[in-house]
């Protein structure tokens, strides 16, 4: 009788250990995003602006998940060191319902802030970034770009889950 009780107890202990290992294994997985341009870290780069429909534009920037857990619906914000009233998302030849929305900036050196608004049902957007996946932000068209500016300092932050935001400071020039 004692042997049967010990076997049942051992079986239950093994079940709970297996469940615990599974739960803790998942909880230890974390996402980790990196901001890239042309395959290299975006931070510190100077990027030449493109001409799109007679307007200046920032080429597509990449977001890579080098972590072990998916990122769902990250918040993407970009700031500019010059005043800008509007920027738009341009996907070469593809229509997109996503757009950049102007926000009030609280960054002292960056008077213009925009937040990327996307619809999670559209996979071309960055609504989910799986481990080892690289997604792209669409080309950013500067609608009210002031011609007298040669260089613009930019700040890009991506907020996701409970991790600190991924931050890149870079410049764009004509």
Interval 118-133 mean pLDDT: 69
Question: Using CA atoms, how far apart are residues 172 and 139, in angstroms rounded to an integer?
Answer: 13
pLDDT at 123: 46
Range name among 3-7, 66-70, 110-114 with the lowest pLDDT average: 3-7
pLDDT at 105 over 90: yes
Tell me the per-residue pLDDT of 47-75, one tens digit each, with 9 for 90 and over.
999 988 888 899 999 999 999 998 887 88
Q: Is the CATH number 3.40.190.10 carried by domain 31-173?
A: no
Taking a C-beta distance cutoff of 8 angstroms, is the pair 119, 125 a contact?
Answer: yes
Q: Give me the residue spans of the domains in the chain.
A: 1-29, 31-173
Give the list of residues 6+ apart from residue 92 with CB closer than 8 angstroms, or none.
139
Mean pLDDT of the chain, nearest integer: 83
Say whether pLDDT at 1 is over 50. Answer: yes
pLDDT at 73: 73
In the chain, % of residues over pLDDT 90? 41
The CA distance from 33 to 66, in Å, is 6
Say yes or no to pLDDT of 94 above 60.
no
Look at residue 36 in the predicted model and tell me its pLDDT.
96
State the pLDDT at residue 38: 93
Name residues whose C-beta falls within 8 Å of residue 128's C-beta, 6 or more positions apart in sequence: 70, 71, 72, 73, 120
């Amino acid at each position: 009788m004692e042997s049967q009780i010990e076997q049942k107890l051992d079986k239950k202990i093994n079940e709970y250990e297996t469940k615990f290992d599974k739960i803790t294994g998942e909880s230890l997985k974390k996402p980790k995003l990196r901001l890239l341009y042309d395959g290299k870290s975006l931070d510190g780069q100077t990027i030449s602006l493109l001409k799109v429909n007679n307007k200046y534009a920032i080429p597509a920037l990449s977001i890579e998940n080098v972590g072990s857990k998916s990122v769902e619906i990250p918040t993407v914000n970009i700031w500019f060191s010059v005043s800008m009233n509007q920027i738009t998302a341009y996907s070469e030849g593809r229509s997109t319902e996503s757009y950049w929305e102007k926000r009030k900036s609280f960054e002292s050196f960056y008077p213009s802030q925009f937040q990327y608004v996307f619809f999670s049902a559209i996979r071309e957007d960055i609504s989910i970034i799986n481990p080892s996946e690289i997604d792209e932000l669409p080309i950013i068209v500067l609608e009210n770009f002031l011609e007298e500016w040669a260089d613009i300092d930019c700040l890009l932050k991506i907020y996701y889950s409970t991790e600190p935001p991924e931050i890149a400071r870079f410049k764009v020039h004509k």
